[in-house]
Each structure stands twice: as C-alpha cells, then as structure tokens.
Amino acid sequence: NNYIMNNNRIYKNNGYGIYLINSAESNIISSNQIYSNNFFGIYIDSDTADNNYILANEIFGTNQNNGIYINYADNNIISSNSIYNIKQHGIYFYSANSNKVINNRIYSCKEDGIRVNSSTNLKIFDNKIYSNYNNGIWLNNNRLISVSNNRIHHCCLNWGAGLQVLGTNTKDIYIKNNILYSNISESGSYYPGILIQDGTVTNILIYSNEFYSLSVGIINEGADFVKIEKNYLHDIEGDIAVFIGTNWSGGFESYANFNFITNNYVYHRGIDVEWGKGHKIIGNLVRDIKTNLVGIRVYNVSNFLIKYNNVRKNIFGIQNNSGNGDIFYNSVISNGNGIILSGKASGDVKFNFVSLNTNDGVIIWQDNGFFPDVKIRKNIIIFNNRNFSTGISYDVSTNWWGSSVKGYIQSKFGYYGPPGSITIDFEPYRLWHKFDLTEGADTESLPTVTGFTATVVNNTNVNLKWNKLTSSDLAYYVVYRALNGDYGILEHKTNYILTITANTNYTYKPVGGVYYYWVTAVDKPSPNTFWSNESWYSKMQSVTIGTGTNVHNITQNKWYWTIQSAINEANTGDTILVYPYGYPDSGSKVYQESIEISTNTTSASNIKIIATNWQGSGVIDTVIDGSGNASAIKVLAKRRIEIHGFKIKNNTWDGIEIKEGSSGNIISHNIIYSNNNSWLGGGMPPIGILVQGSLCSNNSIASNQFYNNIVDSAILGGYNNSIFSNRFNSSFEGIALADDSGVGAHKNIVKNNIIYNMSKNGIGFHSLAS
C-alpha cells in the first residue's frame, strides 16, 4: 500500500508491466513509460486492490493485450495517460466498480478504446478516443455508467460504433456532452455514433451530444426507456440520423418501447421509428432532409405521440405509415409534402400548422391495398401548393384553410441557441387581428406596443422604453434589432435579441453603426395548448452609434467603445489595443465591464489584448473594474489569448478565469487586486487568476503583481501550466494547486516568484495536487 511508482521505463517483460494484486491499495503510478510487455501494461487484479491512482503514463506496444486491465478492483482513478497501439483494448474493466477514467488519450488500439464488462458506477469523461479498430467505447452488462465530455472519432477502422451498449443486465447509462464523428472503416464504410444492440437494455439517457459524418447518429435496436434529448445531429452520411427499431437475437425479435426523443436539432437526415409502442417525439427541430427522405417517420408503431416539432425544408415532413398514434401541435413548413398518412395508419392529426409546402399540405396514400383511418381536424392548413390530397372521401371540415382571414397572419418559427444546448422557440403564427378559429389557438391577441423610443446614452448604450401593457394576459416582450428598416428580415435568428419580462426599460451595448429596433408583446398560451400570440411590431426606431475612440483592433483597423465589442468582432490572429477609457481626452482610464472570450462571443483564437500605456511606457494604469460582477475576464474554450498591461480589480469572484479546456494563454504584466468582494467564507474563494479544468494546459502567468485578493493565483486540475516571476503580497494565500472533480493539478511549474505577507500560506498544495 501507499507506494509511488514514478518516472520508470518498463518494457519487454514476459508478464505484466506493473501488477497489483491482493490488497495493493492507495498506490500512485505516474509518469512511467510502459511498452512491449507480453500481457498487460498495468494489471490491477483483486477485489481489494482499490483506491489506486494511474496518472500521466505512456503505455503502448502491439504485443500488450490491454493497456490497462482492472479486474474486480474498485475506486481507482485513471487520468491523463496516453495509451496507443495496443493489441486489444486500451483500457478494460471487468466487474470493477466506482472507477474513473479522466482526460486520457486512447488511440490506434486493435479492438476497443475502452471496454467495460459487468461493472457498476463507472465515470468516463474528458477523454480523446480515436483511430481504434472496433469501438471507441464498448459497454456490456453494466449499471450506472456515465460517459461525458469525450471526443470519439475515426474509430471503427474494422467495424463497430463510436459507443456500443449491449448486455442483458445493462441499465442506467448516461451519455452526455460528447462529440462523436467520422467513424469510417479502412474500406471507406461509415459506422454509427451510438449503437444500442440488445432488447434487454433499459433506461438510457443520451443528452446534449453532437454527431456528424457517421452512417447513423443514434441506433437503438430493441432497448426500452431510452431518452434522446438536446442532441445536435448533422451531416450524417447514411439515410437516418436517429433510428429506433428492433433486435434479432437467437431467432427472437425484440422491439424497442417507450423511447422519448425530445428537443433535438436534426439536420440533413431524419428521425425514423419502426415497430414497438409508446414512443414520444416531442419538440425537435428537423430540417433540410434531402434525397426523398422523411423528417419524422413512424412505421407500425402503436400508441405514439408526435408533438410540438418544427419540421421544415424536407422532401417529406411527417409520415405515419401503418402506425397508431397522434400528431399534435407541429409546425410543418416549406417541405415537399407536409404530413403523409399511409397504409393502416390510425389516430388523430390535430392542431398542426401546415403551410408553404410545395406539393401537398396533407396527403393520404394507399399502401398494400390499405387506406388510413385517421381523424384530421382543427389544423391550420394554408398556402400549400395543394392543401389536401386523397384518393378516398375524408371529413376535413373542422380544419381552417385560410378562407376566412380578417387581417394578416405571419408565420414565425426559428431555432435559437448553439448546438449542444438547444432550445426551440415554437410560435407558429402571429395574429394581427382576431379571427374565428375553432380550437387550439388563443385568439385574444395583445395590442401593439406604443410609446416606443430609442435613445443613445454616452455613445455606448441604447436605452429602449415603451408604455407598459396592463393586460393580465401579458407574458413577456420581445426586442428585435436589425441593420436596416425592413421588418421582414426579423424572422432571422440573428436579429432576435432577447425575450424579456414585462418591464419598460431595456439597455443594449452595440458597436458603432446605425441600428433599427422594434418591440412586440407575447401573451400567455391558451389553456391546454402550446400556442401563444405575438402582437404586431411596434413603430420602428433607429439610432446612430458613433465610432468608438477607446479600443482599436489594429489588424482590422476598427475602433470600438468597449473591449467586449472588439472581442465580439475579432478574427483569429487579431491584436486589440486598449487606450485609457475616455481617450483621446484624459478620461477616467476605467473600463467598467465584465469581459467574456468564449464560443458565445467569438469563434476567433490567438487574440492579443494589450493596454497601450503599458506597451508604450510600461505604466500599468488602464483599469478593468468588474464593478462587483463575478469576474472581470473569462477565457473559456479558446486557445492562446494574451492579456497584457491592465489593472484588474473589484470582482465578486475572480479577476481572470481560464476554464473549459482553454489552453496556451499568456497573462503577463498585470496588476490584479481587491478581488474579494462579498466573500464570507465557505466554498471556493475569490481568486486573482484561476485556471480550472482537467484539460487546461500550457497557460503562462508571468510578471504580474497580486495583492489584497483571497487567493492570488490557483490551478485546479490543470497540467503543464506555468506561474513564474510574479509578485504576491498581502492576500490570504499566494498560490494554490488542487484538484478539479477528482483530477489533480499536475506537471505545473511554479518558479522565481516573490510571495510575502500572506495571512495564511505562501503556496498551498491541496487535494490531489502533484
């Protein structure tokens, strides 16, 4: 117990590279090179060989059957290893419980990247798994397995899937926030992202993953109670993005039942569900399906529900072929054919909005001599090339066909939010005037917003005001912004600013230019329906924002008023010079803003942000004052951002945050102080510069001054970061190194710093720092 095996080279042994057996517990195996051993690189073999830590090793060699084999051992952590060119599997667990696999690179294994058999409560996250010959991850007969934040790609060089789930006892599997793509065999065949291949698997959550360049994004062959939610599927090479079907095993066919497919963004290929019962397809955006394929299709499914979906720009919108179930409250727009009912289809088609389809809005097809027996009622079916087509008589008198319009109807539909965090704003139409609709819509629309004004404040803000509506039916207002005065362009998501609550004041910080604004009001949905009304646009207001004089993107030669505005429009490789606020006058030199550099604000990387007074004379007097906000600067998931020459102060939490895998950043020659507002103890304290996350690496914190913070500088879970030549003074703790979610900070360099007058520690090593 309690041995440290560090920095060894272990190779060409007839047995195992490292072998832990019996009660070998709480050992650390780190920074070793283990290769070309005849059996396994590292073998932990005992139900009492627990709580070991395998960190930052390099394990390779085609004669090693498994890189790491954990047999019956529990509570081990495998982190930050490189495992490659293995004869069978990179990591293999058998009957091993409560283990963690974190931030490893596993590639070029001749079978599976990670194989898990008969295990419980395993966590696999933040790994890069690629170029393996069979599956990226293979799960069989397991319970309570969490697979999250992994990147799985270019696997299946022989066959398999990015992630395969099977086994008679498999249940409670959680697959979240992974990216799966480009699983292509050496012969050029595409393979799926996730394959569930057993009729006894149950209770799986597939949440917020991204899939592309695959034969199929998700295949479920027979598993019950699978929830597929908020995933982004695009550019699938096969015919289907999501397939729910049957499994043949030993001559017995098992159907998948009670699957729930909700709030997914599905592009280029559709959703196909065959056989089984109780499936629900709710709130998905399905668009741009090509080559005679269907957006959403059910075949021989009983008791299904297709509801609140936005299906548009497909060859076929929604099809029920010989299934029994309901199609309610969907927006089916701009397809070839809207809703197709065929074969022995039965159920109810109700409250749908079907419009602008180039062929038929609703079409009845005969299939194998059978016509559907479906009720079609209380839908809005308008402006299709042919609203309804059938070969037999149908009573469709309760639908609204557009013949009694009094006023104007405008469709409004859109997708707001980045892939991976999908929300769908489903408002199928705007009612300008009331009209007689049988059921399903709230016809009491709100009046147009009045008294709307837009004014410029200090050449940096636009202040919008309007008269507050007094209706008890009011839910919220919507603010729109555009670069010209045509309200028709406001359907585009880029012009949708914000949904806000019912107040009369809204402030926005644009960059220089001419802007046009409108406001609408939205009421509460009618009882038992999903539909709301949105008022017609208010009177348009335009404002002109002068070009800024403080912040200069010298690469593009553009001027801005705020640092954030310059970042929002930056390209990769740009340099942003920041003059004292108020330049060319003396000004206050203080920027009161909280800055975010992330995928939410810019797609660029390698940006330099430099205070001009420091660049010109070495004087650090340009201030970023967080004004009590959480952090002055956040650098999230971007590479190589440089920040030089600022005073950063007065934040509730951190002066500068580097998180979400952000790497290669340089923070130098800044003064970071008084970031300690409102901390009363408990939880994580405010930190001058925080580097947090197991993937944050190669960041440099150099030649800065820190004082009067709680913790001046901290690295939580990161590796290969450097803190050097800084001065730390009069805080609680100078430098802290600790873990993040069980992953220790490791291989970091702390040198040539001056640390003095701390109320507690100069340097603190906390949990799992190495």
Q: Using CA atoms, how far apart are residues 685 and 118, in angstroms rounded to an integer?
A: 41
Backbone angles phi and psi of 196, in degrees to 5: -105, 120
Within a 13 Å sphere around the CA of 218, how many CA atoms are in the beta-carbon half? Answer: 33
Q: In what order do the strands lie in the sheet with 671-673?
A: 590-591, 622-625, 646-649, 671-673, 705-707, 727-729, 754-756
Angstrom distance (rounded) from CA 382 to CA 353? 8
Question: What's the Cα-to-Cα distance from 642 to each of 594, 650, 663, 664, rounded to whole Å?
Answer: 17, 21, 11, 9
Beta pairing partners, 44: 20, 70
Report residue 154 as tokens.
């270019």
Cα separation, 414 vs 419, whole angstroms: 14
Distance of alpha carbon 227 from alpha carbon 173, whole angstroms = 10
pLDDT at 655: 83
| Sequence spans of domains, the chain | 443-545, 551-765
CATH number of the 443-545 domain: 2.60.40.10
pLDDT of residue 750: 93
Distance CA(98)–CA(350), nearest Å, equals 48
CB 36 within 8 A of CB 12: yes
Mean pLDDT for all residues in the chain:
82
Per-residue pLDDT at 515: 77
Q: What does the alpha-carbon distance between residue 626 and residue 440 come to, in Å, rounded to a whole number?
A: 48
What are 721-752's pLDDT values in tens digits? 999 999 999 888 889 888 776 777 888 899 99
Q: Is residue 338 very low, low, confident or very high in pLDDT (cuts 50, 70, 90)? A: very high
Which range, 266-280, 416-430, 447-461, 509-523, has the best average confidence (pLDDT)?
A: 266-280
Strand stretches in 366-473, DSSP E: 373-377, 380-382, 386-389, 409-416, 423-431, 453-457, 461-465
CA distance 710 to 730: 9
The confidence score (pLDDT) of residue 410 equals 29
CB 175 within 8 A of CB 205: yes
The rounded Cα 631 to chain-centroid distance in angstroms is: 22
Q: What pairing do the DSSP bridges indicate for beta strands 53-55 and 28-30?
A: parallel
State the residue for tokens 């159907």: 255
User: In the predicted model, what is the mean pLDDT of residues 502-526?
Assistant: 68
Does residue 19 have a pLDDT over 90?
Answer: yes
C-alpha neighbours within 13 Å on the C-beta side of residue 747: 20
What pLDDT shows up at residue 488?
A: 39
What dihedral angle (degrees, nearest 10) is formed by the CA atoms of 299, 305, 306, 308?
Answer: -170
Integer Cα distance of 567 and 513 in angstroms: 17
How much is the pLDDT for 23?
A: 78
Q: Which amino acid is at 420?
A: G
Spatial separation of the C-alpha atoms in residues 279 and 499, rounded to whole Å: 32
Residue 472: CB partners within 8 Å, gap ≥ 6? none
How many angstroms separate the CA atoms of 368 and 387, rounded? 25
Confidence of residue 429 (pLDDT cuts 50, 70, 90): very low
Provide the Cα torsion 469, 470, 473, 478; round to 10°: 20
CB 136 within 8 A of CB 110: no
The structure tokens listed for 287 are 């668009």
Separation CA 320–CA 313 (nearest Å): 18
Q: Give 360-373 pLDDT, tens digit per residue.
A: 899 998 888 888 99
Q: Which of the pair, 521 or 105, is modelled with greater confidence?
A: 105
CA-nearest of 706, 696, 709 to 754 is 706
Does residue 437 surpass a pLDDT of 60?
A: no
Does 12 or 508 have the greater pLDDT score?
12
In angstroms, rounded to a whole number, what is the distance separating the alpha carbons of residues 417 and 171? 31
pLDDT tens by residue, 643-677: 999 999 876 667 888 888 889 999 999 999 887 65
Better-predicted residue by pLDDT, 147 or 360:
147
541 or 556, higher pLDDT: 556
- CA dist 471 to 447, 448, 523, 605, Å? 9, 12, 9, 47
Non-local (6+) Cβ contacts of 603 within 8 A are none
pTM over 0.75: no
Q: Is the pLDDT of residue 237 over 80?
A: yes
Q: How many helices (H) and strands (E) does the chain have?
A: 2, 81
Predicted confidence (pLDDT) per residue in 542-596, tens digit: 887 777 778 899 999 888 888 888 898 889 999 999 988 765 544 456 888 888 8
Question: Residue 459's pLDDT is what?
Answer: 66
d(CA 673, CA 706): 6
Say what the pLDDT of residue 415 is: 29
